[in-house]
Structure 1
């Protein structure tokens, strides 16, 4: 691939990482941050790379476990950073600027941890696809001076997938997974119990083998999003009955299916 646009972008990424000498990757275990962690390890060596993983009720436990497994496989030291999410009014109130307050809280804490670990340069997995949706969190990332090497190299998600395949990363086909706060309409306050209920219901869909899914919480109602091709299976009598029963046991009074299907950022559709 030497001389191709993708090869040039990969080289630009490698050059940027090499110039940083030592990096701390904001590492969720998703596609983008996993590729960035692998690329940094390959460029700088595992001793000069740190994986910083946020721990909070906004992220499901299975994702934390997957991040730990990958960091171990890559031989990169991982530090789990507790984030006081539910003590931040701008986040708990869940207004349209929630993502800004979320990222500001997250990266402030990660920056502190990076400085305590050899003054590593904090980097995140933002890429060009993130510029296509309403993402006020990027404003906070820029304000705090966090580097986004994938964005600097103009890499999009499909290119990140292609490069992840070359590195044989287990996340190469992993689907996007936004934090659980995105399951609630703007203006609905976040709570530990509400987040746990959504996590429990999404775990059910995951255990049933659905690849792309969201459980949007509207008060006592759950709105399930799955891809159009997976809807027939979702509506099979035995599976449908089990979901209704389990969702109600989790605390929802009503269970519905969104006929528009799975899509990222559907709660942003209500914004002007």
Structure 2
């Protein structure tokens, strides 16, 4: 099956996660590494480990890797309900600038059919800008993406199911300081507690997991000891 039959080259919005890694792998397999590039946003709302992961993925597949920053509009920092729309709009706009500058025919992302089941305001941008989503076009979901991305052979690549740090801030304005705090906590806990989410409610942090996890008393103590260095109150709940 050809996924990129209408294009001779493309640039992939590479987050460092499974879905966009799968798209990059498909693009390289079909068009060749010389005709494919990856672009990764390095704003403060993107976890540093994901940026490093994106670099590893791009290098492993032998494609050019561009990094960039974007400037979301004020609605993003005001933490409005559809902040993801304003964030993604600024990110996609920058990738299109890179594509135009270096002559890539298409901008691709990792959206897939399972994303249609969630509230994802950022997906409106795909139609507005004309982003090509190969997994979505082929009606492929996250399990398919996992299978494809699993063929990228580099033991240092660490795939995790992440949303950006800004989604962790549940009340009040999004600031650099709050984003940095979330990243410091999750960096200390992520590898021992995969899928952990630290939700920032101001003075209170609510600990959740992407996948339901049964914590022992010792687990809770370990997590609380890390989180209480940054938050006055700690609660545990379901994601």
TM over 0.5: yes
1:132 to 2:117 alignment: yes
Matched residue, 1:22? 9
Q: CA offset at residue 124 of structure 1?
A: 0.5
Matched residue, 1:52? 39
Q: Which moved more, 1:44-53 or 1:171-180?
A: 171-180
Q: CA offset at residue 81 of structure 1?
A: 1.0
Matched residue, 2:193? 210
Q: CA offset at residue 175 of structure 1?
A: 3.4
Matched residue, 2:129? 144
Matched residue, 2:76? 91
Matched residue, 1:35? 22
Match of 1:102 among 79, 83, 87: 87
1:225 to 2:208 alignment: yes
Number of residue pairs the alignment of both structures matches: 238
Tell me the distance in 2 between the aligned counterparts of 1:20 and 1:140: 20
Q: CA offset at residue 191 of structure 1?
A: 0.2
How do residues 1-272 of structure 1 correspond to structure 2 at under 5 angstroms? 11=1, 14=2, 16-85=3-72, 88-166=73-151, 174-185=159-170, 188-207=172-191, 209-226=192-209, 227-232=211-216, 235-236=217-218, 239-249=219-229, 251-258=230-237, 260=238, 263=239
List per-residue Cα deviations over 1:6-54 (Å, max 9, x = no partner). Answer: xxxxx1xx2x313210000000110000011011011111100010111
SS of the counterpart of 1:225?
Answer: strand
Task: Indicate if the aligned counterparts of 1:129 and 1:156 stay in contact, CA closer than 8 A.
Answer: yes
Q: CA offset at residue 171 of structure 1?
A: 9.7
Task: Indicate if the aligned counterparts of 1:128 and 1:155 stay in contact, CA closer than 8 A.
Answer: yes
Q: 1:136 to 1:169 in 2, by over 3 A?
A: farther
Q: CA offset at residue 173 of structure 1?
A: 8.5
Tell me the distance in 2 between the aligned counterparts of 1:171 and 1:133: 30
Q: 1:170 to 1:120 in 2, by over 3 A?
A: farther
Flag structure 1 segments of 5+ consecutive residues without an equivalent: 1-10, 264-272
Flag structure 2 segments of 5+ consecutive residues without an equivalent: none
Task: Indicate if the aligned counterparts of 2:41 and 2:91 stay in contact, CA closer than 8 A.
Answer: yes
Task: Indicate if the aligned counterparts of 1:162 and 1:172 stay in contact, CA closer than 8 A.
Answer: no
Q: CA offset at residue 168 of structure 1?
A: 5.1
Matched residue, 1:269? none
State the superposition RMSD in angstroms.
2.0
Q: 1:168 to 1:119 in 2, by over 3 A?
A: closer
Q: 1:170 to 1:124 in 2, by over 3 A?
A: farther
List per-residue Cα deviations over 1:56-110 (Å, max 9, x = no partner). Answer: 011111111111111111111100011224xx20111111111111111110111
